[in-house]
Chain A
Amino acid sequence: MIKLAIREEQIKELKNKIKTHKEKPGPLMPSLHDAQKLIGCIPYEIQKMISKELNIPVAKINGVVTFYAQFSLEPKGENIIGVCLGTACYVKGAQAILDKIGSELKIKSNETTDDGKFTLEATRCIGACGLAPVMTVNEEVYGNLNVSKSVEALNKHKEGAIND
């Protein structure tokens, strides 16, 4: 698992954001979105901090964090690979692509490689159904894929990851 180091400034920035959310009704979800964005995950200590700031029991916050797929308790890898398993992609063979990428990286979906370079996710529809099957590596979208093209795309990013 990747070690998580949260910096002082991140906490400070998050606290400032929470303060603005507090002025409006329903501040929890926007605060959690900010935490996820700023820190990359919402571990227990951050939940406790939000609990204090918003005066909401940490048990409830934990319940909300674990309910929604967008929030994670652990940090994700440097590169996030999302193989779309929306219906349009699925009927055009996305499962084989997900299996292949998983075996290339030796992880299952929702896991991160030991070196922390890649996280593999089976995403639901990203709305590029016209190009099905698609996969994303970070912000980049690869469309009209097949198994071999998906490996090519992965290798491109693997090289990039090594060069970094």
Chain B
Amino acid sequence: MIRSSEELVKRYNETKGKILNRAGLETNGRKEVLVCGVAGCKSLKSDTLVERLREAISDNGLDIEVKETGCFGFCEKGPIVKVMPEDIFYSQVNPKDINEIVESHLVKGEVYKKKLYINPETKKAIETTKEIPFYKKQVKIALRNCGFINAESIDEYIGAGGYQALAKALEMTPQEVIEVIKESGLRGRGGGGFPTGIKWQFARNNESQTKYIICNADEGDPGAFMDRSILEGDPHSVIEAMAIGAYAIGANFGYVYVRAEYPQAVERLELAIEKAKREGLLGKDILATGFNFDLEIRLGAGAFVCGEETALIASIEGERGMPRTKPPFPASKGLWGAPTIINNVETFAVIPEIIKKGSEWFKGIGTKKSSGTKVFALVGKVKNTGLIEVPMGITLREIIYDIGGGMLKGRKFKAVLTGGPSGGCLTEEHLDEIVDFDRLKELGSMMGSGGMIVLDDKNCMVDIAKFYIDFMVEESCGKCTPCREGTIQMYNILNNITSGKATLQDIDLLESLAESTVSTSLCGLGQTAPNPILSTLEYFKDEYIEHIEDKRCSASVCKDLINEYIITDKCTGCTICAKNCPVECISGERKEKHTINKEKCILCGDCFNRCPFDAIVTR
């Protein structure tokens, strides 16, 4: 039990040695091995690596700990194994590499070169994490502990300075806490970008016996996994921040509303809550200050609309997750009619750092109106996919080319999608634009929760618009007619366009439907649902016209506009297409031009996407 802030300091002093050693700040000469135990790496069987490492270490008579941590971010190169404190980064590690790594690095002290990351530019192996270009431009605040501490150990969190922000906040008045958050300029990371401090102030000003604080972890944007990584890699940071927020607004109870699709995140969070309770950091009279705060998990049930605050509240109350009219805003009348604050996971994750280091420090990072950093899931057709945290104000080019390593297979950049199904696309002319809340909005997209999907010339923009509106057709809660019916009609029009059955008037109809859905829907879902259509129409109208007039999809995505795939004289006979064809309809001798059997071909497009020489075309 940690009963007072003195006891917290004592525990910190007992546990910090290990963390400082790992960070290479104060070495005690002991090595440690870290293995990413979440998301991508876990699905590549990183747990087998942990077992094999432990076996190999004990076989060699060594006493070295192996820790499962949260996400290192560089998912593309997973599974990743790091040796600390020297911070050596081994990528794409197989169970069969383990013996060599242990014998070479841990026994003899020589870095095992074969599994190091190779810089694709210079073709040279890179030893330490910080030298890898993917990490160079990143600034980690929300992800400070992800991939660094063992998420299941509260002692490691405390050793890394955890819960000290709570102790500090409890020595301040609630109003002082709110002032720090206000001054920091922190804006909601869930997508809306509303100033967090002002939201807290509203809830503080509303007098009530009961108030609630809720963490929105219903990460629904398909193509984004920021919240998942934080919950799995550093759950205590969210718990600590929720306690700080509760103290500031005057709440004594909180809920974490988390997607049921993230079982590991739920498990880690449950464990973290249990440990925090056992240590007295949740519960009654926290750190002997008289402040009481308790926390419970509520599972989402697969409804995207529940990311909207009022729908989320309805869901916790046991109703259909349908948004309610605002005002009253949740800060005055929220869960069960009580003043309620809802913040996103990432917003919470940065709060302890702001309390500890002060608002000036936070304001020093980012742009004038968007301070701090933002976590993005950088995915799609870039070389380095993964989870990144960058200062606001970085350019898209820096993200895609410096961190992302440029386009996959050297293809041509076409667009980047931000803001998920509520956002839009940005094109080549925007690459040197900066990323912050206001600039992205001005450009017709939005920050969103942090999905960033890069597209190349083999992606069709009309198809992307159709994909997103199809998502919204399913996810519209059905309350407002323009959203319920409008999304279906927009989908039908887009479907006609991609199957060659539309006329040019359909574009006007699409635009007018989109605009009326935006202006007449109640909640954010409906108001933003047509954004991908409006944004692709703005920047890629030619593609819409090409589909309608020429009945052609130049990206060769829209199946109804493809009659057949043909192999041209560019074919070198490399056999890649033939080897991978699922129906084995491609034939030809090695180093000779191949042919496709039209009768057997199912038009899956696998060969088209795979051909390194662009030798396959459609007709």
CB pair A129 B75 closer than 8 Å: yes
CB pair B606 A91 closer than 8 Å: no
Contacts of A160 in B (CB 8 A): none
Shortest Cβ gap from B340 to chain A (Å)? 13
Contacts of B303 in A (CB 8 A): 67-69
CB pair A28 B451 closer than 8 Å: no
CB pair A93 B223 closer than 8 Å: no
CB pair A86 B222 closer than 8 Å: yes
Interface residues on chain A, number (Cβ under 8 Å): 48
The answer, yes or no, to whether A138 is at the interface (CB within 8 Å) is: no
- Nearest-CB residue, chain A, relative to B229: A127
- Per-residue B-contact encoding for A68-93, CB less than 8 Å = 1, 0 else: 11110000000000000111111111
Pick the most buried of A64, A67, A129, A141: most chain B CB atoms within 10 A of its CB: A129
CB pair B606 A88 closer than 8 Å: no
CB pair B43 A141 closer than 8 Å: yes
User: Which residues of A, 113-141, contact B by the 8 Å Cβ criterion?
Assistant: 123-132, 134, 141
The answer, yes or no, to whether A1 is at the interface (CB within 8 Å) is: no
Given contacts A70-B260, A92-B380, contact A87 B301 (CB under 8 A): no
CB pair B581 A134 closer than 8 Å: no
Number of A-B residue pairs having CB atoms within 8 Å of each other in the complex: 155
Shortest Cβ gap from B228 to chain A (Å)? 4
CB pair A129 B377 closer than 8 Å: yes
- Nearest-CB residue, chain B, relative to A99: B604
Contacts of B387 in A (CB 8 A): 130
Pick the most buried of B261, B298, B301, B609: most chain A CB atoms within 10 A of its CB: B301
- Nearest-CB residue, chain A, relative to B478: A67
Shortest Cβ gap from B601 to chain A (Å)? 12
CB pair B580 A88 closer than 8 Å: no
The answer, yes or no, to whether B76 is at the interface (CB within 8 Å) is: yes
Contacts of B464 in A (CB 8 A): 91
The answer, yes or no, to whether A57 is at the interface (CB within 8 Å) is: no
Indicate the size class of the contact surface on chain B: 35 or more
CB pair A148 B581 closer than 8 Å: yes
The answer, among B225, B420, B610, for a CB contact under 8 Å with A127, is B225
Contacts of A56 in B (CB 8 A): 318
CB pair A87 B222 closer than 8 Å: yes
Pick the most buried of B43, B228, B302: most chain A CB atoms within 10 A of its CB: B43
The answer, yes or no, to whether B379 is at the interface (CB within 8 Å) is: yes
Contacts of A25 in B (CB 8 A): 317, 336
Given contacts A67-B320, A131-B40, contact A147 B379 (CB under 8 A): no
Given contacts A85-B222, A86-B223, contact A129 B582 (CB under 8 A): no
Contacts of B224 in A (CB 8 A): 125, 127, 129
Contacts of A69 in B (CB 8 A): 301-303
Whole-angstrom CA separation of A142 from B45 in the bound complex: 10
The answer, yes or no, to whether A38 is at the interface (CB within 8 Å) is: no
- Nearest-CB residue, chain B, relative to A61: B318
CB pair B75 A87 closer than 8 Å: no
CB pair B76 A91 closer than 8 Å: no
The answer, yes or no, to whether B459 is at the interface (CB within 8 Å) is: yes
Whole-angstrom CA separation of A126 from B75 in the bound complex: 14
CB pair A129 B301 closer than 8 Å: no
- Per-residue A-contact encoding for B309-348, CB less than 8 Å = 1, 0 else: 0000001111111000000000000001000000000000
- Per-residue A-contact encoding for B220-243, CB less than 8 Å = 1, 0 else: 111111001100000000000000
The answer, among A30, A70, A93, A124, for a CB contact under 8 Å with B220, is A124
The answer, yes or no, to whether B482 is at the interface (CB within 8 Å) is: no
CB pair B261 A126 closer than 8 Å: yes
- Nearest-CB residue, chain B, relative to A24: B296
- Nearest-CB residue, chain B, relative to A36: B301
CB pair A88 B453 closer than 8 Å: yes
The answer, yes or no, to whether B417 is at the interface (CB within 8 Å) is: yes
Contacts of B75 in A (CB 8 A): 128-131
CB pair B40 A130 closer than 8 Å: yes
Pick the most buried of A92, A127, A131: most chain B CB atoms within 10 A of its CB: A127
CB pair A64 B318 closer than 8 Å: yes
- Nearest-CB residue, chain B, relative to A29: B318
CB pair A148 B582 closer than 8 Å: yes
Contacts of B228 in A (CB 8 A): 127
Shortest Cβ gap from B98 to chain A (Å)? 20
Whole-angstrom CA separation of A38 from B218 in the bound complex: 23
Whole-angstrom CA separation of A138 from B260 in the bound complex: 15
Whole-angstrom CA separation of A29 from B317 in the bound complex: 8
Given contacts A25-B336, A132-B379, contact A91 B459 (CB under 8 A): yes
CB pair A91 B381 closer than 8 Å: yes
User: Which residues of B, 74-120, contact A by the 8 Å Cβ criterion?
Assistant: 75-76, 78
Which B residues have a C-beta under 8 Å from some C-beta of A?
Answer: 39-40, 42-44, 75-76, 78, 219-225, 228-229, 260-262, 296, 298-304, 315-321, 336, 377, 379-381, 385-387, 417, 420, 451, 453, 455, 459, 464, 467-468, 471, 477, 580-582, 602, 604-606, 609-610
Given contacts A29-B301, A103-B602, 6 further A-B pairs with CB under 8 A are A69-B302, A70-B300, A125-B224, A127-B224, A127-B228, A131-B40
